[in-house]
Every structure is written in C-alpha cells, then in structure tokens.
Amino acid sequence: MSFELVIFLITLFGLAGIGTPVGYSIIASSIMYFTFGDMDVALAGEKILQGLYKSFVLLAVPLFITAANIMNVGTITDRLLSFCVAVVGRFKGGLGHVNVVASLIFSGMSGSAVADAAGIGKIIIGMMTKNGRYTKGYAAAITAASATIGPIIPPSIPMVLYSVISDTSIGYLFLAGIVPGLIMGLVLMIMNTIISHKRNFVTEKAVPLKKLPRTTVRAFPALLMPAILLYGIYGGVTTPTEAAAIAALYALFLTGVLYRSVSFKSLYEIFVDSARSSAAVGVVIGGAFILTYIVISENIPGILTAFLQEIDVSPLVFLILINILVLLLGCFLDATTIILVIVPLFIPVCKALGIDLIHFGVLVVVNSMIGLITPPYGILLFVINAVTGISLKEIISEIWMFIGVLILALIVMMLFPELILWLPEIFGYKG
C-alpha cells in the first residue's frame, strides 16, 4: 500500500466520519492522493469530466428522477391506488396487498424507492391507518419494504449506475430485474397474508366487479408507462437513455395535458427538486470515476483477485461473502455509494471466477435495496418518518419480519441464477 493511498483513506474516512457527503469526501481525498503522489491535481477534474462525457447512459438518471417526481403530483397515484384496491383489496390484508401491488406498478414508472415511499407510500399509509385498520408501525413497515421493489423492476436508476461501472447491457439488466421484483412482491404479500390472519386485520369491502372496467380505464394511461418503456428498449425503437426521456415526457403529458393536475408553479418546483437530486447523484458518480482511477492505479482488483485465487474461493462462497458484506454496508451506506464505490472493486474478481455480471448486478442491487430499510441508516425508514410523522421506533419494531423474507428471496436468487437470467436469455443474452 502506497503512502499516498494511506493518506487518501485517512482523509476519506475522516471526512465521512464527520458527516461530509460521500461524493465530496471522495473528491477531497483524491486531491490529497494526487498532491502527495506528486501528480497534477487537475487530474481529478479531468477524470470526472471524461467519465461523465463518455457515459451517455447517465443522462437516464436525471430523466427517471424527473419522471418519478412528476408521477407523484396530481391524480396519477390516486388512479393507480383505486385500480389496486379494486383488484386485490378484497383479500385478507387487502390494503397491505394494495401497498405491494401499487409499488410493483409504480416501480415501472419511477425506478426510485424514495419516490415510491414519499409519494404513493404516504397516501396508502393514510388509507391503512384510517379508523385503526392497521397499526401505524405495520403500515409504515410494509410501505418501506414494498418500496424496495421500485429499483428492481425496470426502469431502475441503480441498475443504470451498475451498467456504467461494469460495462454491461442496461437492456439485459432491466430484463433481469423483472422476475426478482415479482419474487420480492410475492414474498411480501405472503408475509402480509400470514400477519393479517394472525392479527385479524380488517378485510376491506370488495369493489363490485362491474366497476373494475371503469377503474381500469381511469388508470390505463398510467399503467401504459412500463409497456411504453419496455417496448421502446426491447423493440429496438429507443436506447435506454431515450426511453428515459420519453418516460419523463409521457409523465408530463399525463399530468399536464390529459389529467390537467399540475400547475406551472408545481412544475417549476418539480424541475428544481429533480435538478437538486440529480446534482447530488452526479457528485457521487464523479467521485466514483476518480476512485476507479485510484483503485486501478494501485492495482487493488489484481491484488484482490490473486488473493482469492490463491485461497481457492469458489464462486458460490464468493457470492455469499459479498452479499454478507453488502448487507452489512447497507446498514450504514446508501445504495448509490455501495454500487459506485464498493462494487467496482469486485467486478474483476467476478470475471476471474466466471460469475455472470448480470446475475451479480441484480444481486447487488436487490441487496442494496434491502439496505434501504435496514437500521440504523435505512434511508426509507427516515423518509417515511419524515412524510408521515410515524416514529422510527414503531417502524423498526415491525420492519424485521419483512427484512427476513426479502433476505430469503435474495438467497433463492443467489442459489438459482436462472431465475434472474431466464428472461434476458430469451431475448438473446449469451452470458
């Protein structure tokens, strides 16, 4: 380990330890690395600009963020919830099922767990806690757990980021996320059914079947969003980045033209908020480009690969160890940081061990999403606490059982890679 690398690590952990945002910490630490390594400090800026300029696909990130924010305004969420209530609200634990199904649908529009929790999640929690139907802690916990599905089913911002650092196809990553997302939704609905019977939660009054067609028609334009995205990408009509632009434009068309539920003032606020969120992600991405350069310069992937090959670690053992590591890191770090800073270290090792990068990417993203609801960090827990006022103590006391079933689903995905790779292979993925 070189002296400048030691200085880099001390600075990085020191700044992060006092609460400095990760992106700023990496950039500041890299400046120290270049300074003590007798290199041009301007190299840090050069690596950021080159990385951003060459990664056209990164334009999808702010576009998907904008689409999600637009979707959270107006009547779109109300129409989607009415449709979900009509379809699954009649079953035991109905509003819990509505919560999960709504997240499954909304995930095909936003690709953001935070957008799901803060938008449609806030509304469904209000419905669940009205007149004491469900306890506040349980309603918040299942909302947080179901929101983790958002970045799994396409479109997915974390998968866009993973594709950049691993040089894998976004299209195949999106396809690979569909089945895992459905599996996550299924295990959450099973757990909700078990708990609803055990605690005897209220069963909602069934919506007459004759009203279902009308409800479906009201929600149909919004339900069409995932189909437009998937057809555009896999039909060869658009690139993923162009599909993200279409998603944002379509969301704007729905809220502004078709439903007339957004004003110019609220639209301005949406764009400002989207710009701020995109800038925050952009700083982390820029820092990740510098970090990648430093990691390669220090030959860390080569050293790590040689070490693992020397001790003869099998691909399965490696995956188990990495999943444990990501789960632990998820307790303290956000998904973007894990994917952009930690995961690149292991990409060369995956290649050396013959691990499919699409399979590995989906596992990492699913694992990172579980981290979003894992105490003590658990950003989704804080988001729901902020928008609803439900105490963190109540949420955390109920979240563990959902974390358990999601980890179980993750283990199944790890042991049976065909669950992830089946759909991409149908569309021509060769591994």
Q: What digits encode the pLDDT tens for the residues 162-180? A: 998 888 988 899 889 999 9
**Spatial CB neighbours of 418, under 8 Å, sequence gap ≥ 6:** none
- Phi, psi of 377, deg, nearest 5: -75, -70
* Eight-class DSSP state of 210: G
Rounded Cα–Cα distance for residues 62 and 72 (Å): 15
**Spatial CB neighbours of 425, under 8 Å, sequence gap ≥ 6:** 431
Highest mean pLDDT among 100-104, 115-119, 188-192: 188-192
Looking at residue 242, its amino acid is E
pLDDT above 70 as % of the chain = 94
The encoded tokens of residue 142 equal 């299942």
Q: Is the pLDDT of residue 305 over 80?
A: no
What pLDDT, on a 0 to 100 scale, did the predictor assign at position 193? 92
Rounded Cα–Cα distance for residues 391 and 406 (Å): 23
Confidence label for 109 from pLDDT (cuts 50, 70 and 90): low
What pLDDT, on a 0 to 100 scale, did the predictor assign at position 309? 67
Domain spans of the chain? 3-426
For 257-292, write each residue's pLDDT tens digit. 877 777 788 888 888 888 887 887 788 778 878 887
In 93-211, which residue ranges form alpha helices assigned H by DSSP? 94-110, 113-118, 120-129, 136-147, 157-166, 170-199
What pLDDT, on a 0 to 100 scale, did the predictor assign at position 191? 94
Confidence label for 365 from pLDDT (cuts 50, 70 and 90): very high
How far, in Å, are 18, 43, 83 from residue 40 at the CA level? 27, 6, 58
- 392 in Cβ contact with 381 (< 8 Å): yes
What number is the average pLDDT over the span 243-269?
A: 81
Confidence label for 124 from pLDDT (cuts 50, 70 and 90): confident
Rounded Cα–Cα distance for residues 160 and 340 (Å): 11
- 355 in Cβ contact with 319 (< 8 Å): yes
**Spatial CB neighbours of 151, under 8 Å, sequence gap ≥ 6:** 107, 111, 112, 113, 157, 158, 159, 335, 365, 369
- What integer best gives the mean pLDDT of the chain? 83
What number is the average pLDDT over the span 69-81?
A: 72
Q: Is the pLDDT of residue 79 over 80?
A: no
Q: Is the pLDDT of residue 108 over 70?
A: no
* Eight-class DSSP state of 59: G
